[in-house]
Amino acid sequence: MTDLPARMTAIGISTPGGPEVLRPEERPVPTPGPGEILVKVAAAGVNRPDVVQRKGFYPPPPGASDIPGLEICGTVVARGPEATRFALGDRVMALVSGGGYAQYCVAHESHALAVPANLSDAEAAAVPETLFTVWHNVFERGGLKAGETLLVHGGSSGIGTMAIQLAKAFGAKVIVTAGSDDKCAACVTLGADTAVNYRTADFVAATKAATGGTGVEVILDMVGGDYIDRNYEAAAVDGRIVQIAFQGSSKATVDFRRIMLKRLHHTGSTLRSRSVADKAAIVAAAGAAVLPLLAAGRVRPVMDTSVPLADAAAAHARMESSAHIGKIVLLV
Ligand SMILES: NC(=O)c1ccc[n+]([C@@H]2O[C@H](COP(=O)([O-])OP(=O)(O)OC[C@H]3O[C@@H](n4cnc5c(N)ncnc54)[C@H](OP(=O)(O)O)[C@@H]3O)[C@@H](O)[C@H]2O)c1
């Protein structure tokens, strides 16, 4: 244990509401429990679920910090009992179930990875939530294989930009939807084979055209609503549709006959509420497969903006404007 302060600055949610409810507060520095490390945070990623939490619709799971922030990069400054994986001073990037918007944050050691030397603090903080979400949903649940085609809704999002890169790195074709021509162009630059501006074109027709009429094997959907029925149309026989959010609606009228006729699988998951062991398994598998690609520069988080921790409200306002392409990060 190095000399640590008792108190720290963190960003609290003063009351559910707009970005302005995010305010710097003084909090006790957390103490790592069994198997946990205390990280002096250098940078924290901003994710759409943080925005939903700030609005009061995504409470932290039992036992998690009420401070927002699901991913961090920083230096290990203390270890709890039985935490042996990292040494003091190691640079790590970690998935956390809350508490990232702070000077210090506790992470389970099995949810952390060593940071490749070529990544900046901001880049490393942008990796965990997107990498583990994409790895689990596209590859483990969706079973994407080389030669198949992945359709990613929200291709220019933090999640989408990681999904494009990973799918291409593992030999798949990628079709994305995004809400502007600029966003579509950014996705193509990143490696997407086809980008559909969903405001001006029908993604089902575009998907069929891009796949010779057969449809796509895997769909990563964060929209829901009327996309659900249209995803069933856009999917290939034996297609897998993986739901990670409902930015449109979680309710829909759907013609389910396609599930039988095309033998579709529709699944989904949410990372934050998973058990320590489940997350550890995802982190280990994603780390083994993707850390070499990150270290070689073949996969690199797409960075939109980095702002100081005290400007968390501005970071949320930018995310809600949907003007961003890639990741928004807080520098601590
Ligand atoms: N299940 C999980 O474990 C998990 C974990 C992390 C994140 N998520 C979810 O994944 C999503 C992305 O997260 P993020 O942090 O990467 O957020 P983000 O960067 O803010 O991405 C949200 C994206 O949704 C796009 N979008 C909204 N409506 C759309 C539509 N009708 N069609 C296509 N795209 C649409 C927006 O792009 P346009 O401007 O182009 O519309 C934007 O790029 C969020 O919904 C988040 O809640 C789920």
Give, for ligand 1, the residue of 48, 130, 250 to mutate: max count of ligand atoms closer than 8 Å to Cβ: 48
In this structure, what token pair is assigned to residue 304? 């939109």
For atom 35 of ligand 1, which residue has the closest CA?
154
The encoded tokens of residue 249 equal 């609606």
Nearest atom in ligand 1 to the alpha carbon of residue 49 is 47
Structure tokens at 219: 């769909």
Position 145 confidence tier, pLDDT thresholds 50, 70, 90: very high
The predicted structure's pLDDT at residue 1? 52
Q: Is the CB of 197 under 6 A from ligand 1?
A: no
Q: What is the pLDDT of residues 5-34, one digit of tens each?
A: 999 999 999 999 999 999 999 999 999 999
Q: What's the rounded mean pLDDT across residues 40-69?
A: 96
Measured CA to CA, the distance from residue 161 to residue 179 in angstroms comes to: 14
pLDDT for the residue numbered 77: 98
Cα–Cα distance between 170 and 166 in angstroms, integer?
6
C-alpha span between 115 and 193 (Å, rounded): 30
CA gap 58, 68 in Å, rounded: 10
Is 77's C-beta closer than 6 angstroms to any atom of ligand 1?
no
What is the per-residue pLDDT across 227-248, written as a single tens digit (0 to 9) for each?
999 999 999 999 999 999 999 9
- Asked whether the predicted pLDDT for residue 144 surpasses 60, the reply is yes
Q: What are phi and psi of 45, to 5 degrees?
A: -75, 150
Residue 216 CB less than 6 A away from ligand 1: no
> Which of 43, 3, 119 is closest to 332 using CA atoms?
43
User: 84: CA distance to ligand 1 center in Å?
Assistant: 36
Ligand 1 contacts CB of residue 247 (under 6 A): yes
Ligand 1 near 97 CB (within 6 A): no
| Nearest Cα residue to atom 43 of ligand 1 | 157
Residue of minimum CA distance from atom 22 in ligand 1: 157
State the maximum Cα–Cα separation within the chain, in Å, rounded to a whole number.
64
H-helix or E-strand containing 301? none
**C-alpha 177 – ligand 1 centre gap (Å):** 11
| Through-space distance between the first and last CA atoms of the chain, rounded to whole angstroms | 21
Structure letter (DSSP) for residue 224: B
Query: Cα of 29 to ligand 1 centre, how many Å?
Result: 32
pLDDT of residue 3: 85
The verdict on the CB of residue 129 being under 6 Å from ligand 1 is yes
Contact 3, 78 (CB under 8 A): no
Q: CB under 8 Å to 322, separation ≥6 — which residues?
A: 179
Q: What percent of the chain has pLDDT over 90?
A: 98
Please name the residues in contact with 173: beta carbons below 8 A apart, sequence gap of 6 or more.
148, 149, 150, 167, 193
Task: Tell me, in angstroms, the distance from the centre of ligand 1 to residue 13's CA.
Answer: 22
Tell me the sheet residues that pair with 194: 175
- Tell me which residue has its CA closest to atom 12 in ligand 1: 159
State percent of the chain over pLDDT 70.
Answer: 99
* pLDDT per residue as tens digits for the range 92-141: 999 999 999 999 999 999 999 999 999 999 999 999 999 999 999 999 99
Q: Please report which helix (H) or strand (E) contains residue 129, including its range.
A: helix 128-134
State the sign of the Cα–Cα–Cα–Cα dihedral 166, 168, 170, 173: positive
Question: Does the beta carbon of 72 sit less than 6 angstroms from any atom of ligand 1?
Answer: no
Q: DSSP labels for 195-236?
A: EEETTTS-HHHHHHHHTTTS-EEEEEES-BTTHHHHHHHHEE
Interval 265-276: pLDDT, tens: 999 999 999 999
268 ligand 1 Cβ < 6 A: no
Q: Is 155 in the pocket of ligand 1 (CB under 6 A)?
A: no
Question: Angle CA(174)–CA(178)–CA(179) in degrees, nearest 5?
Answer: 165
136 lines ligand 1 (CB under 6 A): no
Residue pair 175/216 in contact (Cβ under 8 Å)? The answer is: yes
* Four-CA torsion 24, 30, 35, 41, nearest 10 degrees: 40
| CB neighbour burial string for 164-186, b if at least 16 within 10 angstroms, e if fewer | bbbbbebebbbbbbbebeebbbb
138 lines ligand 1 (CB under 6 A): no
Q: pTM of this prediction?
A: 0.97
* Interacting residues of 175 by C-beta distance below 8 A, sequence separation 6+: 149, 150, 151, 152, 192, 193, 194, 195, 196, 203, 206, 207, 210, 211, 216
Helix (H) or strand (E) holding 182: helix 181-190
